[in-house]
Amino acid sequence: MPNHTVTSFDDELKSVAGRVSEMGGLSEVMLTDAISSLIRMDKDLARRVIAQDKRVDALQFEVEEQAILIIARRQPVAQDLRDVIAAMRISNDLERVGDLAKNIAKRVIAIEGSFDSKKFALGVEHMSELAQEQLKAVLDAYANRDTDSAANVRERDDEVDALYTSIFRELLTYMMEDPRQISICAHLLFCAKNIERIGDHATNIAENVIYMSTGVQPADERHKLDETGVETGTAR
Amino acid sequence: MTDTTAQTGGAVATPARKGSLLEVDSLTRKRNAAEARFKMYGLSAVIVGLLFLVALLATILSNGTSAFTQTFITIPVPLERAEIEAAEKSIVKTSKYRAIIGTAFANVLSSAGIETDMSAKDLDKMMSSGAAASVRDFVLANPGSIGTTHTFDLLASSRVDGYLKGRVTREDLINDKNLDAAHLDIVDRLNAAGIVQKRFNWQFIFGADASDSRPEQAGIGVSMIGSFFMMLVVLVLSLPIGVAASIYLEEFAPKNRFTDLIEVNISNLAAVPSIVFGILGLAAFIQFAHLPQSAPLVGGLVLTLMTLPTIIISTRASLKSVPPSIRNAALGVGASKMQSVFHHVLPLAMPGILTGTIIGLAQALGETAPLLLIGMVGFIASNVPDGVAAGFLDPNSAMPAQIYEWAKRADPAFYERAWGGIIILLLFLMTMNIIAIILRRRFERRW
Amino acid sequence: MNEMPVVDAEAGTLLPKISAKKVQVFYGETHAIKDVDLNIADRTVTAFIGPSGCGKSTFLRCLNRMNDTIDICRVEGDIRIDGEDIYDPKVDPVQLRAKVGMVFQKPNPFPKSIYDNIAYGPRIHGLSRSKADLDEIVANSLQKAGLYEEVKDRLDEPGTGLSGGQQQRLCIARAIAVSPEVILMDEPCSALDPIATAKIEELIDELRENYTIVIVTHSMQQAARVSQRTAFFHLGNLVEEGETKEIFTNPTDRRTQDYITGRFG
């Protein structure tokens, strides 16, 4: 794409995209660290994750601020407008990803005593790997305006959902086996839910990447595979 | 759309900090000095021009104002029936009248207590040779005055007039066969007695030209009428023709080689020496069309030819100066080309057209050379033409031609009248220019 | 004349008010408009955008044959209004221009009174039978142009004494006065301040109900605001024509995208 006649406009757009990428990197790291701290029950690491969230929030605020300025001063249209709008939405999603990672870290601190983390957290770890992969893929797609891999991420959200359903059943089984484990399993269940939500945000980001580069808002034909609510009869 | 400077904007070096604004650097000083010098040159040029103008006006006024006064001798003339009847019967009628006036003049002298041994004939030389004619004219116009004594203001001769105006001195009269120093003594005493006086000379403004021997009688009035009829012809012909031609050329004519040629030729015509138009008029109007010679009609036609290019050029310029947005506006609401020109463009161009026309007329009014060739320099001593047709067709002169004619004559008394004529001509030109300025002011609009 | 929208019997769809096919315009040797095919819908605002010299104004001026006044300009192709070829030798451009009004870039009221400015068109077209008729036309036109309240007490004052925005609305009223069906606007706001521009844009939006409006503008924001359809011209070509909301969010052609985002070059 050729440069704008007004070069500072290009600089501003690049600066917004750069901040979004930075947010993406940070939230990726936060997710990874939060999962590591959960598996190793590393409360220090968890605290560091919580501290990092402040930076993500600040970045999101900056992205929003810049995007508003661009809209006010440059009145972007077409590609530029979609870039700015996508940056705002994606930063929003990434901020939520950061929040969810922070929430996992908080639970690590909250969980009392020890547990057989290997046994319980195996499923969660597996699920988080998938979510991390998705997040990484979608952030690469954003950086490269790669609609194909974004579409791919969107399709693969089902896998995360499916994993979540199976973890839900597994943890339910543990809780029935040993009521003393209910507290810890509940925490883990929330962590799994958070990861599943992160997967959803990755999907949202993927949709915004597609919108950004094609101008088409993807129709929501994705069917949710979250059958837990149906299964248990409890509202999610 | 490409703005390369914007893309290389970063590469532009930031300017080094300049010195204090309170110190003027040498380059600026030089520039300022050059500017001050240029202003001075311009001012001196204007002053030189003004000086020339003042000198010109001063010369004209100092030489010409005296033409507007004339010396008159006040004489009560007894108009006795017997003498007048005798005079009317004789062959040279005015000479008898002359005798009557001579007697009356001698009586005036003696009653004023002025002793002289001059003969009546010598005394008569102090009076204009036209004096007798004016007395006779009065008697013929007022038969009822016969038998009474009427007081006439009779023209003094040009020598006497020149003496009172300081143009003629006693030394000048040594070789003069008409007047000698003794006459001037009488004039001095008559002047003191109030019998010989300078008065405003209406005859100069309204009268006709007079022969070489009677400069005191000569007036510019008849040639003014000649000029008036010529201007009438010029106005009536050149304004519509010029405006129509310009509108066609400017608004309707296709732009091609032919119209370019016409355009160039019109510009060239404006630069053609006026005498060329004169010879053209002579060949076309007099020799070919057999129009009367020396007639204001022919003069007007020639001057029309000369004025047309001026009017066309100024009209086209003022048509061009009407903003195209007005034309577009008119066409946009569905006016035809002609409607847009006549409803909108022409009214807006009118002040310019009128100014151009008046300036063209003023030029024509002051033109002499072409008139020489069609014989409008004839000596016209007759009075006001009787009727409009006669005004156009009778031989006449024109103001500038009359002035030229006077300037040619030997008697210095005519020289004074030439300057006086120039004052009148300038007054006319000034009036026309003022009218032009007023028209421009009144009709000028801003868009 | 055609009060009822013309319906294409075969397709059963609305025929466009103006349809141009293979339009070429030459200025002397310069090929100013190349093969433009464009349909302009009735009672919509169509905006022509594009860089300077792209031919948008030239094309606009083809629609009421204002180009006829330029000697060296030659128009080829087929332009129809309500199915009638406006370049047919039988068509008188003067009559055409009463049907297709025009508003220009610079407000150009006649140096006459406000009343006469508007009354001029109806007078030369013989649209009024009496003074009362004319008064009504003038008042109506001013009302439609949203100017009546501002000038009703000074109709005999010169139109040139109004402010720039008022002058432009006067020009629009003048165009409306001859009851055209199409109004062409050639950058009508380029000489106006933002408030006056907003008023004109509001007016354009109201006029859309009764008139087919084609507007040439250099302001892309303006095109985005006032038009329903937008056509992008570049180097004498019609690059893209479509719904304004499409053009400004997701244009198809790369050149359109580059132009509207300010990347031209």
pLDDT at B111 (0 to 100): 85
C108: chain B residues, CB-CB within 8 Å = 323, 325-326, 328-329
pLDDT tens digits along A33-88: 999 988 888 889 999 999 999 999 999 999 999 999 999 998 898 889 999 999 99
Q: Kindly give, in sequence order, each residue whose CB lies less than 8 Å from that of residue C107, ignoring residues fewer than 6 positions away.
A: C164, C167, C168, C170, C171, C191
A147: chain C residues, CB-CB within 8 Å = none
B278 lies in the same domain as B307: yes
Q: Which residues of C touch A (CB under 8 A)?
A: 220-221, 224, 247-251, 256-258, 260-265
Residue C253's closest chain A neighbor by CA? A78
Residue A216's closest chain C neighbor by CA? C250
Nearest to C104 among B332, B334, B447 (CB): B332
Q: In the listed set B200, B230, B263, which residue is the last one of a domain according to the structure?
A: B200
pLDDT at B425 (0 to 100): 92
Domain formed by A7-232, architecture? Up-down Bundle (1.20)
At C264, list the tokens.
């031209």
Instruction: Note whether residue B192 is domain-resident.
Output: yes
CA distance C27 to C166: 34
Instruction: Note whether residue B274 is domain-resident.
Output: yes
A11: chain B residues, CB-CB within 8 Å = none
CA dihedral B112, B115, B121, B125 (to 10 degrees): -70
pLDDT top residue among B181 and C147: C147
Contact criterion met (CB below 8 Å) for A187 and A175? no
CB contact under 8 A, A5 and B9: no
Average pLDDT, chain A: 86
Residue A9's closest chain C neighbor by CA? C262
Contact criterion met (CB below 8 Å) for A38 and A191? yes
Total domains in chain B come to: 2
Q: What is the mean pLDDT of residues C164-184?
A: 92
User: B368-395: buried (b, 16+ CB within 10 Å) or exposed (e) per residue?
Assistant: bbbbbbbbbbeebeeeebeeeeebbbbb
Best of A77, A81, A147 to disrupt the C interface by mutation (most C CBs within 10 Å)?
Answer: A77
B108 lies in the same domain as B225: no
The answer to whether residue A226 scores a pLDDT higher than 60 is: no
Q: Partners for C (CB, 8 Å, 3+ pairs)?
A: A, B
pLDDT tens digits along B18-46: 778 888 888 999 999 999 999 999 999 99
Q: What is the mean pLDDT of residues A25-37?
A: 92
The answer to whether residue C6 scores a pLDDT higher than 70 is: no
Average pLDDT, chain C: 88
User: B433-444: buried (b, 16+ CB within 10 Å) or exposed (e) per residue?
Assistant: eeebeebeeebe
B255: chain C residues, CB-CB within 8 Å = 71
pLDDT tens digits along B398-446: 889 889 888 888 788 888 889 999 999 999 999 988 988 888 888 765 5
For residue C83, give the nearest of C5, C178, C176 by alpha carbon. C5
List the C237-243 sheet strands across, edge first: C100-103, C182-186, C212-216, C45-49, C229-234, C237-243
Contact criterion met (CB below 8 Å) for B339 and C124? yes
CB contact under 8 A, C262 and A214: no
pLDDT at C265 (0 to 100): 58
Instruction: Note whether residue B52 is domain-resident.
Output: no
B226 lies in the same domain as B192: no
CA distance C24 to C77: 6
Tell me the nearest-neighbour CA distance from B1 into chain C, angstroms: 6
Instruction: Note whether residue B209 is domain-resident.
Output: no
> Across the strands, what pairs with B76?
B151
CB contact under 8 A, C66 and B330: no
CB contact under 8 A, B255 and C71: yes
Q: Helix (H, G, I), strand (E, B), or coil: what is residue C233?
A: strand
Range of the structural domain that residue B92 is part of: 66-200
pLDDT at B384 (0 to 100): 62
Q: Does B447 touch chain C (CB under 8 A)?
A: yes
CA distance C80 to B50: 67
B225 lies in the same domain as B159: no
Q: What are the structural domains, with CATH classification, of chain C?
A: 18-107+183-260 (3.40.50.300)
Q: Partners for B (CB, 8 Å, 3+ pairs)?
A: A, C
B366 lies in the same domain as B243: yes
Domain coordinates of chain A in residue numbers? 7-232
φ, ψ of residue A186 to 5 degrees: the values are -65, -45
B228 lies in the same domain as B270: yes
B342 lies in the same domain as B422: yes
B293 lies in the same domain as B415: yes
Nearest to C111 among B327, B335, B447 (CB): B447
Confidence of residue C36 (pLDDT cuts 50, 70, 90): very high
Residue A10's closest chain B neighbor by CA? B7
For residue B126, give the nearest of B79, B69, B168 by alpha carbon. B168
pLDDT at C213 (0 to 100): 94
pLDDT at A56 (0 to 100): 93
CB contact under 8 A, C120 and B348: no
Residue B4's closest chain A neighbor by CA? A5
Q: Does C6 touch chain B (CB under 8 A)?
A: no
CA distance B353 to B341: 14
Best of C67, C108, C176, C259 to disrupt the B interface by mutation (most B CBs within 10 Å)?
Answer: C108
pLDDT at B16 (0 to 100): 72
B3: chain C residues, CB-CB within 8 Å = 265
Nearest to B1 among A3, A5, A7 (CB): A5
* pLDDT > 90 fraction of chain B, expressed in percent and rounded: 26
B433 lies in the same domain as B287: yes
pLDDT tens digits along C105-124: 889 999 889 999 999 999 99
Q: What is the mean pLDDT of residues C231-242?
A: 92
B331: chain C residues, CB-CB within 8 Å = 66, 69, 97
C124: chain B residues, CB-CB within 8 Å = 333-335, 339, 343
Give chain B's end-to-end CA distance (angstroms, integer): 31
The answer to whether residue B59 scores a pLDDT higher than 90 is: yes
Q: What is the mean pLDDT of residues C28-33?
A: 89
For residue A212, give the nearest of A105, A76, A52, A35 by alpha carbon. A76
Q: What is the mean pLDDT of residues B273-279?
A: 91
C-contacting residues of A 59-118, CB under 8 Å? 75-82
Average pLDDT, chain B: 85
B180 lies in the same domain as B112: yes
Q: Does B410 touch chain A (CB under 8 A)?
A: no
SS3 string, B107-164, reads: HHHHHCCCCCCCCHHHHHCCECCCHHHHHHHHHHHCHHHCCCEEEEEEEECHHHHHHH
pLDDT tens digits along A128-159: 899 999 999 999 999 999 999 999 998 888 88
B3: chain A residues, CB-CB within 8 Å = 5
pLDDT top residue among B124 and C197: C197
At C61, list the tokens.
């001026």
Tell me the nearest-neighbour CA distance from A133 into chain C, angstroms: 31
B184 lies in the same domain as B251: no
Best of B2, B7, B8 to disrupt the A interface by mutation (most A CBs within 10 Å)?
Answer: B7
Give chain C's end-to-end CA distance (angstroms, integer): 46
Nearest to C260 among A5, A6, A78 (CB): A78
B124 lies in the same domain as B228: no
Tell me the nearest-neighbour CA distance from B14 into chain C, angstroms: 26
Q: Does A186 touch chain B (CB under 8 A)?
A: no
Q: Does A216 touch chain C (CB under 8 A)?
A: yes
pLDDT tens digits along A156-185: 888 888 989 998 998 888 888 888 888 888
Nearest to A215 among C249, C256, C264 (CB): C249
Give chain A's end-to-end CA distance (angstroms, integer): 45
pLDDT at B77 (0 to 100): 87
For residue C44, give the nearest of C251, C260, C245, C235 by alpha carbon. C245
How far are the Cα atoms of A224, B96, B133, B205 from residue B154, in angstroms, in the given order? 132, 16, 10, 17
C104: chain B residues, CB-CB within 8 Å = 325, 328-329, 332
Q: Does B7 touch chain A (CB under 8 A)?
A: yes
At B125, list the tokens.
């030389």
Nearest to C111 among B333, B336, B445 (CB): B445
pLDDT at C38 (0 to 100): 93
Nearest to C261 among A80, A214, A216 (CB): A80
Q: Angle at which helices A43-74 and A7-40 pack, to 10 degrees?
A: 160
The answer to whether residue B7 scores a pLDDT higher than 70 is: no
Q: Does A6 touch chain B (CB under 8 A)?
A: yes
Tell me the nearest-neighbour CA distance from B18 into chain A, angstroms: 28
Instruction: Note whether residue B207 is domain-resident.
Output: no
Instruction: Note whether residue B25 is domain-resident.
Output: no
CATH assignment at residue B418: 1.10.3720.10
